């Protein structure tokens, strides 16, 4: 499958700013961080700080972080989230931008990259002006918003035409329904009474119908031959689990999970795990 290029000439998605601002507002509301901010990552790997939720004194807007420099530049370079609970004492990053961070009065920060088609297209930050410890809750919240944004961007360019216009709010709602579906399935598997198990399965099935988009299948992926186990792997991947975590959940070896994923990607004409998840959802194969 030849995928449309979601980028403009400088490497950033053409429509990143609006959904990124929405995601940052959500992050601010959910976590209570002092400032949520971010921006696109250009083709040369620099991070342009253009989007803000919360009070800024004006030192950060318009700043362009060089690839590998500072917290965001390092997170973009390694394509992974980084947390520092005292920015100025952190030894894992360079300190080229200390004066700017100090001017904004920020201390504890987490930066998470937004990745589409194996490339970093944006960066999201959560920051405190106090010495608050950024623990798992804050890190998960930033990561969740970044993953929701990724899925919204991928859906717009790689999914079926019927889902191409979905905005971030719709994507977030669907993800919440999918999480509920997974939770109900897990409860059903643990239920000892058959009537309770059947009732939970029926509820899960209704949620599946609401989230799968089964009425909008694309011609090239209908009946792609994806097996039940491959669907399980795709669904867990869509929940943000790594291959090792999927292996642990399903009681399989890491090699076997990778094999299932590779097979599913081939059947769905996808180049990445995320494309495969979006294609499977768009065609009603997984919720």
Q: Please name which of 47, 70, 56 lies closest in space to residue 124, comparing C-alpha atoms.
A: 47
**Domain assignments of the chain as residue spans, ordered by start:** 17-157, 159-282
Q: What class does CATH assign to 159-282?
A: mainly alpha
Which residues are within 8 A (CB) of 112 and not within 5 positions of it... i.e. 6 or more apart?
75, 81, 123, 124, 125, 139, 142, 143, 146
Per-residue pLDDT of the chain (287 residues; tens, 9 = 90+): 333 344 444 444 557 888 999 999 999 999 999 999 999 998 888 999 999 999 999 899 999 999 999 999 999 999 999 999 999 999 999 999 999 999 999 999 999 999 887 789 999 999 999 888 888 889 999 998 998 888 878 766 544 444 434 455 555 566 666 667 667 766 777 777 777 777 777 776 666 665 554 444 443 444 468 888 888 888 888 777 788 888 877 788 999 999 999 999 998 888 888 888 888 887 778 87
Q: Residues 77-84: contacts with CB within 8 Å, 24+ apart?
A: 77/45, 79/113, 79/115, 79/120, 80/113, 81/110, 81/111, 81/112, 81/113, 81/139, 81/142, 81/143, 81/146, 82/110, 82/111, 83/108, 83/109, 83/110, 83/134, 83/139, 84/108, 84/109, 84/110
Bridge partner residues of 53 (DSSP): 36
Equal CATH topology for 17-157 and 159-282: no
- Give the integer Cα–Cα distance in Å for 281 and 263: 16
Domain 17-157 has CATH 3.30.360.10: no
pTM of the model: 0.56
Identify whether the C-beta of residue 111 lies closer than 8 Å to the C-beta of residue 72.
Answer: yes
């Amino acid at each position: 499958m030849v995928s449309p290029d979601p980028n403009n000439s400088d490497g950033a998605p053409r429509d990143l700013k609006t959904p990124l601002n929405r995601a940052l507002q959500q992050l601010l509301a959910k976590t209570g961080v002092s400032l949520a901010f971010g921006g696109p990552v250009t083709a040369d790997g620099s991070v342009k700080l253009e989007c803000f939720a919360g009070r800024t004194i004006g030192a950060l807007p318009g700043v362009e972080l060089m690839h590998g420099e500072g917290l965001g530049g390092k997170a973009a370079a390694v394509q992974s989230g980084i947390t520092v609970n005292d920015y100025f004492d952190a030894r894992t990053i360079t300190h080229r931008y200390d004066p700017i961070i100090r001017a904004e009065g920020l201390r504890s920060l987490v930066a998470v990259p937004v990745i589409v088609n194996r490339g970093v297209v944006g960066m999201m930050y959560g920051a405190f002006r106090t010495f608050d410890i950024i623990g798992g809750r804050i890190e998960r919240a930033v990561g969740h918003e970044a993953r929701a944004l990724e899925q919204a961007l991928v859906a717009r360019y790689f999914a079926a035409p019927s889902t191409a216009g979905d905005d971030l709010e719709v994507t977030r709602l669907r993800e919440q329904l999918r999480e509920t579906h997974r939770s109900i399935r897990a409860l059903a598997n643990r239920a000892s009474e058959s009537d309770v198990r059947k009732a939970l399965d029926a509820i899960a099935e209704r949620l599946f119908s609401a989230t799968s988009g089964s009425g909008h299948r694309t011609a090239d992926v209908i009946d792609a031959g994806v097996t039940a186990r491959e669907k399980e792997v795709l669904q867990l991947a869509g929940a943000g689990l790594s291959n090792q975590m999927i292996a642990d959940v399903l009681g399989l070896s890491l090699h076997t999970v990778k094999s299932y994923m590779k097979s599913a990607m081939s059947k769905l004409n996808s180049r990445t795990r995320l494309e495969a998840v979006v294609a499977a959802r768009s065609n009603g194969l997984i919720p």
